[in-house]
């Protein structure tokens, strides 16, 4: 039955394909508003196919549509992420007669046949020292794999055959090489674990393809010190949420904290007497100790006195609607709005967000003669080598690093 559905969706004209995809999404519980947003992209895609003289969608047409309209390719994480997602989802439905769960936020736990294996595997990784952040990523990818298997009639892990593995890897074609390589790495370790613990009679790890991760280095967007001040001044601090967002923004802009560390800052992280801020970084697990600058400290105090809701939360920054738990918003819209309000023009082809301030701090330190080890310490990199990327923000330093041409 699955093969018939897959075959029929491959042959559908794009308008019928869209109609089938919408019905499928509704059946598996997607919200009407989400389907409407996807449909808006699909209508533009259908019009694009028509302009190219065809009524049948192909992966090449999908990529061309995204590139010509949004200047990016499928799988890249940028401002056209939602468009990429819509096109990739429709291609999945066309090829496999199904769509994959796009987020693990709505999934509480693995299904009964896969629960013991997958949870045992994740606990095994945790005991080997894999970080909590990586565990969450691996869990999300296992949810996708489980969803694929169940929808292809594989009720138990022991029933997996090589063609299931190959078909699943095919379904990753629209993602970046890093995502594909990372997923295959997870599958390899999962197959080895399943063999060692009796969940399958063989491991497919040795026949999995090797995917070389292509790391793209590009000169990032940076702000000058003057632009940083203009951005900070443009934030509206006449309301509690504005005071909270400003305090987080100045933490990132002046101290170079990652947004995950700034929004999860705890009361016991600040030594007010010695003006120090000490945290264990969420991404790396590495301790970081920084001076608490006066303007940063006063911004936090202003929020605590005149913005923060009354709550016993251990976190300084909280949601402003009940329950008053830790903040989850990355505040990207706050940054973009502040940049626009400050009248600062940014390249259309480069991502802008909280991380831009870290690049800006690196750029400023490089310009003032700081060593990469000093920048690594300030930015909290686990390894100084991670800071090599930031060399690209300083054109003069690039010239100094260029190799002499020998004849």
Q: pLDDT tens digits, residue range 37-64?
A: 899 999 999 999 999 999 988 877 887 7
Q: Where residue 108 falls among pLDDT bands split at 50, 70, 90?
A: low
Q: What phi and psi, each to the nearest 5 degrees, are found at residue 288?
A: -140, 130
Nearest to 177 by CA among 70, 73, 64, 283: 73
**pLDDT at res. 266:** 92
pLDDT at 131: 81
In this prediction, residue 106 has a pLDDT band, given cuts at 50, 70 and 90, of: very low
Alpha-carbon distance values, 37 to 14, 33, 43 (Å): 17, 6, 10
Q: What is the CATH number of the domain that holds 378?
A: 1.10.443.10
Rounded Cα–Cα distance for residues 173 and 142 (Å) = 17
8 Å CB contact between 298 and 307 = no
pLDDT beyond 80 at 160: yes
Half-sphere exposure of 404 (CA within 13 A, CB side): 2
29 lies in some domain: yes
Would residue 102 count as lying in a domain? no
pLDDT of 2: 43
What strand order describes the sheet that includes 270-271?
Answer: 270-271, 276-280, 287-291
Residue 196 has pLDDT above 70, yes or no: yes
- pLDDT for 71: 53
141 in catalytic set: no
* Average pLDDT of the residues in 18-47: 90
Q: Please report which confidence band the pLDDT of residue 83 belongs to, taking 50, 70 and 90 as the band edges.
A: confident
Q: Which pLDDT belongs to residue 363?
A: 65
Q: Note whether 20 and 139 are same-domain residues.
A: no
Tokens describing residue 154: 């594989």
Residue 381 pLDDT level (bands cut at 50, 70, 90): low
Confirm whether 333 is a catalytic residue: no
pLDDT at 286: 81
- Residue with the larger pLDDT of the pair 171 and 54: 54
Same domain assignment for residues 161 and 16? no
In a domain, 309, yes or no: yes
Instruction: Identify the burial level of 155 via C-beta atoms within 10 angstroms of its C-beta, where 0-12 means exposed, 13-18 middle and 19 or more buried.
Output: exposed
Instruction: Tell me: pLDDT of 403 over 60.
Output: no
pLDDT of residue 398: 40
- From the candidates 243, 308, 358, 359, which is the catalytic residue? 358
- Note if 69 is an active site residue: no
* 392 domain-assigned: yes
What are the backbone dihedrals phi and psi of residue 276, each rounded to the nearest 5 degrees, phi first? -130, 150
Residues 65-92: what's their mean pLDDT? 66
Backbone angles phi, psi at 291, to 5 degrees: -70, 140
CA–CA dist 129, 23 (Å, integer): 43
Which residue of the set 48, 168, 199, 390 is catalytic? Answer: 390
Catalytic site residue from 24, 283, 332, 341: 283
- Which of 258, 308, 319, 359 is catalytic? The answer is 258
Residue 175 belongs to domain with CATH number: 1.10.150.130
- 190 and 164 co-located in one domain: yes
pLDDT at 77: 46
Does the annotation mark 358 as catalytic?
Answer: yes
> What is the structure's pLDDT at 368?
62
Are 171 and 32 found together in one domain?
no
Whether the bond into 35 is cis, omega within 30 of 0:
no
The CB density around residue 148, as the number of other CB atoms within 10 Å, is 19
Residue given tokens 């895609």 in the structure block: 45
Q: Do 160 and 301 reside in the same domain of the chain? A: no
Instruction: Point out the catalytic residue in the list 139, 189, 319, 381.
Output: 381
254 shares its domain with 333: yes
Comparing 62-76, 268-282, 296-310, 381-395, the range with the smallest average pLDDT is 381-395
How many Å apart are CA 203 and CA 190, to the nearest integer? 9
More confident residue, 381 or 306: 306
Instruction: Give the best-scoring range by mean pLDDT among 74-78, 120-124, 211-215.
Output: 120-124
- Would strands 287-291 and 270-271 be described as parallel, antiparallel, or unpaired? unpaired
Say if residue 117 is in the same domain as residue 90.
no
Residue that terminates a domain, selected from 62, 96, 130: 96
For the cut 50, the answer to whether the pLDDT of residue 107 exceeds it is no
> HSE-up of 21 (CA within 13 Å, CB side)?
30
Summary mean pLDDT of the chain: 79
pLDDT reported for residue 315: 93
Q: Is residue 353 a contact partner of residue 258, using CB atoms and an 8 Å limit?
A: no
Has 273 been annotated as catalytic?
no
Residue 219 inside a domain? The answer is no
Predicted local confidence at residue 347, as pLDDT: 64
Rounded distance between C-alpha atoms, residue 18 and residue 93, angstroms: 9
Note whether 234 and 285 are same-domain residues: yes
Other CB atoms closer than 10 Å to residue 169's CB: what's the count?
A: 16
Domain that holds residue 332: 225-401
**pLDDT tens, residue by residue, 213-238:** 555 545 557 788 888 899 899 999 99
Contact, 397 vs 366, CB < 8 A? yes
The C-alpha atoms of residue 343 and residue 184 are separated, in whole angstroms, by 44
196 and 172 in a common domain: yes
30 is catalytic: no
pLDDT band at 379 (very low <50, low <70, confident <90, very high): low
Among 70, 96, 122, which residue terminates a domain? 96
Same domain, 238 and 351: yes
**Residue 75 binned pLDDT confidence (cut-offs 50, 70, 90):** very low
Say if 379 falls within a structural domain.
Answer: yes
State mean pLDDT over 7-27. 84
Band of residue 1 on the pLDDT scale cut at 50, 70, 90:
very low
Number of structural domains the chain divides into: 3
Based on the domain organization, do 169 and 117 belong to the same domain?
A: yes
Residue 212 resides in a domain? no
Q: To the nearest 5 percent, what fractions of the chain are helix, strand and coil?
A: 60, 5, 40
Q: Check whether residue 270 and residue 379 sit in a common domain.
A: yes
Domain's final residue, options 154, 173, 207: 207
Q: Does residue 215 lie in a domain region?
A: no
Residue 288 is given by DSSP the state: E
């Amino acid at each position: 039955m699955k093969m018939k559905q897959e075959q029929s969706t491959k042959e559908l004209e794009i308008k019928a394909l869209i109609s089938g995809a919408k019905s499928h999404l509704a059946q598996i519980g997607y919200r009407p508003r989400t389907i409407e947003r996807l449909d808006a992209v699909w209508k533009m895609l259908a019009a694009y196919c028509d302009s190219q003289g065809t009524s049948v969608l192909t992966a090449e047409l999908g990529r061309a549509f995204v590139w010509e309209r949004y200047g990016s390719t499928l799988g890249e994480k940028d401002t056209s992420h939602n468009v990429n997602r819509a096109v990739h989802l429709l291609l999945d439905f066309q090829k496999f007669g199904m769509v994959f769960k796009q987020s693990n936020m709505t999934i509480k736990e693995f299904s009964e046949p896969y629960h013991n294996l997958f949870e045992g595997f994740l606990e095994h990784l945790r005991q080997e020292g894999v970080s909590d952040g990586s565990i969450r990523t691996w869990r999300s990818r296992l949810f996708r794999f489980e969803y694929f298997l169940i929808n292809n009639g594989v009720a138990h892990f022991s029933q997996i055959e090589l063609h299931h593995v190959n078909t699943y890897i095919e379904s990753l074609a629209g993602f970046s090489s890093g995502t594909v390589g990372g997923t295959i790495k997870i599958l390899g370790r999962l197959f080895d674990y399943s063999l060692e613990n009796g969940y399958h009679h063989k491991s497919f790890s040795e026949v999995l393809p090797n995917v070389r991760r292509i790391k793209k280095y590009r000169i990032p967007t940076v702000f000058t010190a003057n632009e940083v001040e203009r951005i900070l001044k443009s934030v509206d601090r006449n309301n509690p949420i504005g005071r909270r967002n400003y305090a987080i923004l100045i933490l990132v802009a002046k101290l170079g904290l990652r947004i995950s560390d700034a929004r999860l800052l705890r009361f016991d992280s600040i030594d007010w007497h010695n003006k120090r801020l000490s945290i264990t970084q969420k991404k790396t697990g590495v301790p970081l100790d920084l001076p608490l600058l006066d303007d940063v400290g006063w911004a936090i105090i202003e929020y605590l006195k005149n913005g923060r809701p009354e709550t016993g939360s251990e976190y300084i920054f909280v949601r402003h609607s009940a329950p008053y738990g830790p903040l989850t918003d990355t505040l990207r819209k706050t940054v973009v709005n502040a940049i626009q309000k400050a009248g600062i023009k940014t390249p259309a082809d480069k991502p802008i967000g909280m991380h831009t301030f870290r690049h800006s701090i690196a750029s400023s330190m490089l310009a003032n003669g700081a060593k990469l080890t000093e920048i690594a310490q300030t930015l909290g990199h686990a390894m100084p080598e991670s800071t090599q990327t930031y060399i690209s923000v300083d054109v003069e330093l690039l010239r100094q690093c260029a190799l002499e041409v020998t004849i």
